Structure 1
Amino acid sequence: MKLELRHLRVVCAIAEAGSLSKASSSLGLAQPALTAQLHRIEALLGGRLFERDHRGARPTALGELVLERARVLLPAFSRLQEDALRLVDDTVPGDRYRVGAVNGPMLGGLVHRLTEAHPGAHVSTQVSWSGEELSAMVAAGRLDYVLVGVCGDAPPPSEHGLTWHVIAVEPVFVLMPEDHPFTVLEEVELGALRDTQWAVVPGDGCFGDCFVAACSRAGFTPRTMYEVDINSCIDLASTGDAVALCQPTFRRTPGLVSMPLAGAPLRWRHLMGWDPEGPAAAFGPQVLRYAAEAYRETAERSTRYADWLPRHPEYGAVPHQALV
């Protein structure tokens, strides 16, 4: 993990708000998720950035140094974005679809539908593990639409004024070798995995905290959590070195099985967002429909998930609805 501009924005937000609770509200994050982010940033920089007590959060000497540099870098980056936008081509919305996505099951199917339905349009994509970063790109006019995932009932990135629509609600499955004794079951109890190591792809938001809370409810504290890319998740699961937390639509991989957790203790929502005041908003419902179709198609290809869904009708693709 490397220091990124979004980390500097978090540090500035905490300093401006004067406390983590106020900063979490302004950033649209749960306070435990923001606390976890701050700890990761401090680990990257090698020291504490804030002294925290009942009176709030005050920058340390290291924090002051970071803030001084961040207040130069962030405006400079914003100016760079604005200058770059002046140089983009004059393609108009409807002839151009620029889609950003966090790791999820819909991007490929969405691109296929866009290029098939609009053969003359220019379709481009941008991927990141950070929904916050992609949402900022939509707000800056560098993307038209963004696909993100959020944990449970957590809000999507809220500081950029995007309107958000729910595409699907799904449980979190676990990925394990096909010869694991639990794969003969219909569902795996989370508590039965108390002695395992875990693997997950990175992301912003509160998923890590929600996972720890779910393990606590199941009566244990999780052991090592490896934060790795998708290929490394597959490798660790294949060798039995870790159980990987995965989406139920995870593409079938030889030697591996994705298993549902009993009671669905972890839930994930797939959302699409766009700027309601931007020119791409007129085509938003159409793109949203393509994304929902792509999700349904992907869910149908996942045999175990397709078998699981009829018994859990509250999950899967949902009727189009706006959050904000």
Structure 2
Amino acid sequence: MKKPSFCLRVGHLLLFSMADSNTTDFTNPSVFILQGIPGLETAHVWISIPFCIMYIIATLGNFTILYIVKTEPRLHEPMYYFLCMLAITDLILCTSIVPKTLSIFWFSSQEINFSACLTQLYFVHCFLVTESGIFVAMAFDRYVAICDPLRHSTILTNPVVAKIGLAVVLRGGILVLPYLLLTRMWPYCTTNIIPNTHCEHMAVVKLACADIRINRYYGLFVVFSVIGLDVFFIALSYAQILRAIFRLPTKDARLKTFGTCGSHLCVMLAFYISALFSSLIYHFGNNVAPHFHVLLSNVYLLVPPTLNPIIYGVRTKQIRDSLLRLFTHKET
């Protein structure tokens, strides 16, 4: 029997090596490739402009809130403590995604270490759940302040506020921990290209060559339990607040309180609606354009942190007055 030629044997060896690498190289991938916004790669530089502007506004605005509350003793109240928690959460959310996103847009730096990707995934989802919990705490604070003002200081004491803050953070950390554990255990044997600007749970596990139904079911459970319960409690609080508003004696007082609560609700709705749609598209929206989905997933991560310092900070009289005093004092 004639032996195969040397070239055929070498070719067979190369094909075997390539097939073997295709099934093993991504089992524990050293890096993922973040594609950015699929289909809009040529516009990345232009898209980076609003991203950069929003990040600057969010960073400066939230740091300003933290500085003013820290330096103004009269703002050491539950409402402003919750506002500080929201500012810290927004800063962590923005910083978790925007620097890497801008490096993709500006320098085509698309690689992200596997461990760094999982860390980003955990921080993004953990602090999204935390932000939702802080919205509930702030709605409860406004409910007590407007509907039962005489008991506000006795119900929301500093220890109670600290416990609420700790509970909100622990809830986020515990609920999102299975995301991290499940994502890490799957083999990745087809591709390591993530069609997104950052590592999201479903965007990553969709690359796994395994049955990821448990990820899908648990992801839907988190979305509906967090958004469903939190929106219910927020709606309940604001329904009671609206009843109290219509009982106010003067029209000006009603309009002022209604305007404040209305702006708060608009920010919350932008956060919850965009988060819900983004999550549902990952599970059911196979026909949705990828660039639309990626832009939507960035909206609920960037727009609320940008608007929160304006809506909750600048439109709050005490913070606005403190900010004006800060600038006038510097000028003199």
What is the TM-score of this pair, normalised by structure 1?
Answer: 0.23
* Greater RCO, CA 8 A, separation 6+: 2
Per residue, is there more strand in 1 or in 2? 1
Per residue, is there more helix in 1 or in 2? 2
Structure number with greater Rg is 2
What is the TM-score of this pair, normalised by structure 2?
Answer: 0.23
